[in-house]
Amino acid sequence: MLDLIQGFFVDSFFVFIILALFLIINRLRLGPTLADRVVALDLFSTLILSAIVVASLYLSDSLYSDAALILGIVSFMGTVVFARFIEDQEND
């Protein structure tokens, strides 16, 4: 468990990711094309991954490392599938 003095840094991490969450959801809502939304989803999965890793430090529990690895793999697969889907859409 980290000290209370360093708790400022961890608290500011959570404030930062909540602010970033609003910006990402805004882009996800009004992205002009599908590719913008896929980029926003990719950044969203990065945010969740960092939050999982920091929660693993915050709770001093090493079980969350598996969740971080699996989330990285799944987000990469999702991005690849979405890229194939964007590429195969017909041009208009």
DSSP H helical ranges for 1-92: 7-30, 34-58, 64-88
Residue closest to 35 by CA, chosen among 72, 92, 73, 84: 84
Q: Which amino acid is at 58?
A: Y
CA 73 to chain centre: 13
Q: Is 84 in the site for other proteins (CB under 8 A)?
A: yes
Min CB(82)–other proteins separation in Å: 8
Q: Is 59 in the site for other proteins (CB under 8 A)?
A: no
Binding region for other proteins (CB under 8 A)? 2-3, 6, 8-10, 12-17, 19-21, 23-24, 26-27, 33, 35-36, 38-40, 42-43, 46-47, 49-50, 53-54, 56-57, 62, 65, 68-69, 72-73, 76, 79-80, 82-84, 86-87, 89, 91
